[in-house]
Amino acid sequence: MPNNRPRPPTKAQKGKSSTATPKKSASSQRFAERQAAKQQAAREQRRARTRTYGIVTIALVVVIVAVLVVVKVAGGGGSGSTVDVPSPPAGTPIPASTLAKLMSVPVSTLNAAPTGGILTTPQSVNNPALTAKGKPELLYIGAEFCPHCAAERWPVYIALSKFGTFSPAPGRIHSANLDGDVPTLTFYGTTYSSPYFTFTPVEVYTNKPEGNGYASLQQPTQAQSTLWQDTNGGTIPFLDFGGKQVLPSAQYSYGPLQNLPFSSVAAQVGNNSTSIGVDIDASAAQLIKTICGSLSHDQPSDVCSAVHNG
């Protein structure tokens, strides 16, 4: 009679059914958990890097904007104190030390400057004597927008300082932005006193744009206007030395002065090793010589002898 009772599993069958399968499942689970942990850590690292990059980018933008603002406010950049708004007609104050430097350049230094950069010199005329307040008159007509006038005021101021004084001191201005932006000083709003002659400055326009030109500042008298038109055709700058000599235009080119700070130009006055210093010094020496011969009767003697005998 056959024995139909179920047989117990053999040892090999026991290993396959109760031991091998459970071990394989636990190993896979642990591997999967480790992989998941690594992926989570990688995601956290990527998030941290993204946050860092974002913070650094924002900080850089803030720094760049701040630098641009500072440069704009300070008037920095390649133009060296480029000005975005018109100067007030009487200018802004010039440091006393700067004015003292301009006034104290020795006449011998001015007279020693090479004249290679001089374009125009005073010319003799046969006009009627020009006088004001009982003295020979030096008439200056210019405009604050004019870059040629801006260049010429430097040697005019230096020359005039050898014969008298200004009160109040001239202010600092610049020619119009669209007309060279040349740093200079202004005679508007000042009074000049000299025992030898009268200085009459007339600035016909400001450097403030208005319509198709610039805002008016000073109106020449009818006599001044006629003299100016008849002698010079109404061009600027114009200087008449007592009716004996006239300067019909700027003595040297304003080009090298464009967009420079006022202090940079002032620092070169009296320095004949720079092109700007040479041109200003040589121009001032010519004006002094002209004033001595046409207005002051060679006084003061120390000044006039220095330019005549230098």
Same domain, 37 and 101: no
Q: Using CA atoms, how far apart are residues 39 and 186, in angstroms rounded to an integer?
A: 75
Q: Which residue in the block uniquely carries the two structure tokens 């109106």?
A: 219
Same domain, 225 and 125: yes
**What is the residue-level pLDDT of the chain in tens, covering all 310 positions?**
444 444 444 444 444 444 444 444 555 565 556 556 656 665 666 666 556 555 544 554 444 434 343 333 333 333 344 444 678 889 999 999 999 999 999 999 999 999 999 999 999 999 999 999 999 999 999 999 999 999 999 999 999 999 999 999 999 999 998 888 999 999 999 999 999 999 999 999 999 999 999 999 999 999 999 999 999 999 999 999 999 999 999 999 999 999 999 999 999 999 999 999 999 999 999 999 999 999 999 999 999 999 987 6
Same domain, 193 and 131: yes
What pLDDT score does 32 carry?
A: 54
- Work out how many domains the chain is built from and give that number: 2
What pLDDT score does 87 carry?
A: 80
Encoded tokens for 178:
């669209």
Same domain, 150 and 182: yes
DSSP bridge pairs for 142: 203
Encoded tokens for 181:
């932006």
What pLDDT score does 88 carry?
A: 87
Same domain, 256 and 288: yes
Domain boundary among the residues 46, 76, 106 is at 76
DSSP bridge pairs for 93: none
Phi-psi region of 180 (alpha: psi -120 to 50; beta: other; left: phi over 0): left
CA R_g for the chain: 41
Q: Using CA atoms, how far apart are residues 193 and 229, in angstroms rounded to an integer?
A: 27
Residue 124 domain boundaries: 96-309
CA 242 to chain centre: 36
pTM to 2 decimal places = 0.74
Same domain, 62 and 172: no
Q: Using CA atoms, how far apart are residues 190 and 192, in angstroms rounded to an integer?
A: 7
Could you tell me which of 60, 290, 70 has the C-alpha nearest to residue 197? Answer: 290
Q: Using CA atoms, how far apart are residues 81 and 77, in angstroms rounded to an integer?
A: 7
